Amino acid sequence: MTTLAQAAPFEAALPQPEAKGKFLFTSGNTELHAEGIRERIQVPVRSGNTAGALFQNAVEAALERARRAGQENPVVIGAIPFDLADESCLYVPEQHEWRTRGEPGEASDFAREMPDLVSQKSYPDEAGFKRAVQHAIVNFQHSDVRKAVLSVVRELQFAEPVDVGGLLASLRAQNKDGYQFQIPLPEGGDLIGVSPELLIRKQGRKFLSNPLAGSTKRLADPSADKATAELLLRSEKDQYEHSLVVQDIQRILTPYCSEISVPEAPSLLSTAALWHLSTRIEGQISDPSMTVLQLASLLHPTPAVCGFPTELAHRLIRFVEPFERGLFTGLVGWCDAEGNGEWAITIRCGIVDRDRIKLFAGAGIVEASQPDTEWAEVQTKLGTMLKACGIAA
């Protein structure tokens, strides 16, 4: 186990006036658990100044205050929204602790504890989503936009409040790989999910970015599953959708790197429900004082969640998507006082607020996309959280 911070037992200093909420971020074999809120950081990553100095100063100052208060290597943990002009949802916790990933329980035990589902609603609905995809495709033919990621929300209403801890345990038991997270939200409720996509990890000078784009549903029969994965790997449409992401990350990172390695072709990454095209971009940062948050804010939002070119794709999304994404397709993760940390993309997630759950999923649209296939893909992506709720996709 990597112990980056020596934390006192959680019981010791709790609760403070604002000390509600449990945080979790897992990566590989490591779990970061935090509790209690020492300080919130709500400054948007981009607040009228493109260098993000206000944001960086707010993070550094909060970490410095925590250090002065006796924390050896304090961390910032939380979520950054899709739109960097929106408020951040970051915290310096009262206490944090690094643990080795534990064995999750049986998924079925938790799903049984879910209250009855009273109603559910998708917006846009199927017809609306397909219209938006068609609109984007026509737009690609008449503009410089090459890709846009379009998404849907599924709202679930339950008869009684949902046990967030139980639901998260169910999600974790069904999805052993990936970046699992729980972030309490200032307005109430919790953001929970299991993301397969790493925007950036930094440790000293070393970094890794592992973008995903191009997906297909996994199949129950092992040989059919293998065949569908191979089709994805050869699909021109998916390779193109993926290449836009990789090229953009490479273009942005290269000026900051003393070394960067980008595989020539994508490989396959699987979750419990999907195959994805994946590329591991690794290297060394020239200036070791650059923090993981600085790197993340240069890269975000990548064409894996926004589109290409970024600004035009963002405009198209604002025009066709009938809701505010908020934290969905933003970032979730942590950064320590040394500038090390990791930020995953906030996907395969939902907001649990008492008896309501709001789930989100999106898909990258390019000119060769088909509305029916893209609708099926977002339903499969919703399936990760729906299954944890004990609901068929």
Ligand X SMILES: C=C(O[C@H]1C=CC=C(C(=O)O)[C@@H]1O)C(=O)O
- Rule CB under 6 A: which of 136-175 touch ligand X? 149
Other CB atoms within 10 A of residue 15 CB: 11
Q: What angle do CA 137, 141, 147 make, to 5 degrees?
A: 50
- Within 8 A by CB and 6+ apart from 359, the residues are 153, 154, 155, 156, 349, 350, 382, 385, 386
In the chain, the DSSP E strands lie at 22-27, 30-41, 75-80, 89-100, 117-123, 147-158, 179-184, 190-195, 198-203, 206-210, 212-217, 257-261, 267-270, 274-278, 281-285, 307-308, 331-336, 341-345, 349-353, 356-365
**Nearest approach, Cβ of 65 to ligand X (angstroms)?**
35
**Nearest approach, Cβ of 372 to ligand X (angstroms)?**
15
Q: Does 96 bind ligand X (CB under 6 A)?
A: no
Contact 91, 39 (CB under 8 A): yes
Q: Does 89 bind ligand X (CB under 6 A)?
A: no
Near ligand X by CB under 6 A, which window of 23-31, 99-107, 262-270, 356-364?
356-364
Closest to ligand X by CB, 78 or 330: 330
Cβ-based burial of 11 (10 A; exposed 0-12, middle 13-18, buried ≥19): exposed
Contact 271, 384 (CB under 8 A): yes
Near ligand X by CB under 6 A, which window of 255-263, 265-273, 290-298, 361-369?
361-369
Closest to ligand X by CB, 277 or 337: 277
- Rule CB under 6 A: which of 24-53 touch ligand X? none
Among 81, 364, 371, 383, binds ligand X (CB under 6 A): 364
Report how far residue 243's alpha carbon sits from residue 308's, in angstroms, rounded to the nearest whole number. 11
Q: Does 215 bind ligand X (CB under 6 A)?
A: yes
Near ligand X by CB under 6 A, which window of 31-39, 49-57, 334-342, 360-368?
360-368
Report how far residue 183's alpha carbon sits from residue 77's, in angstroms, rounded to the nearest whole number. 8
Q: Does 276 bind ligand X (CB under 6 A)?
A: yes
Whether 94 sits among the annotated catalytic residues: the reply is no
Q: Does 244 bind ligand X (CB under 6 A)?
A: no
Q: Does 381 bind ligand X (CB under 6 A)?
A: yes
Query: Residue type for 120, please?
Result: Q
Near ligand X by CB under 6 A, which window of 44-52, 92-100, 248-256, 358-366?
358-366
- Catalytic: which of 147, 202, 358, 387? 147
**Nearest approach, Cβ of 192 to ligand X (angstroms)?**
15
**Nearest approach, Cβ of 345 to ligand X (angstroms)?**
7
- Catalytic: which of 197, 241, 342, 374? 197
Whether 20 sits among the annotated catalytic residues: the reply is no
Closest to ligand X by CB, 149 or 171: 149
Q: Does 363 bind ligand X (CB under 6 A)?
A: yes
- Rule CB under 6 A: which of 316-335 touch ligand X? 329
Query: Residue type for 182, please?
Result: Q
Near ligand X by CB under 6 A, which window of 76-84, 99-107, 208-216, 311-319?
208-216
Report how far residue 326's alpha carbon sits from residue 349's, in angstroms, rounded to the nearest whole number. 12
**Nearest approach, Cβ of 149 to ligand X (angstroms)?**
5
Q: Does 386 bind ligand X (CB under 6 A)?
A: no
Contact 77, 93 (CB under 8 A): yes
Please report, in angstroms and rounded to a whole number, the separation of the first and last CA atoms in the chain.
36
Contact 224, 365 (CB under 8 A): no
Q: Does 305 bind ligand X (CB under 6 A)?
A: yes
Query: Which DSSP category does 264 fall into?
Result: S
Residues at the contact surface with ligand X, assessed by CB under 6 A: 149, 197, 212-215, 276, 304-305, 329, 347-348, 361-364, 381
Active-site residues, by number, are 147, 197
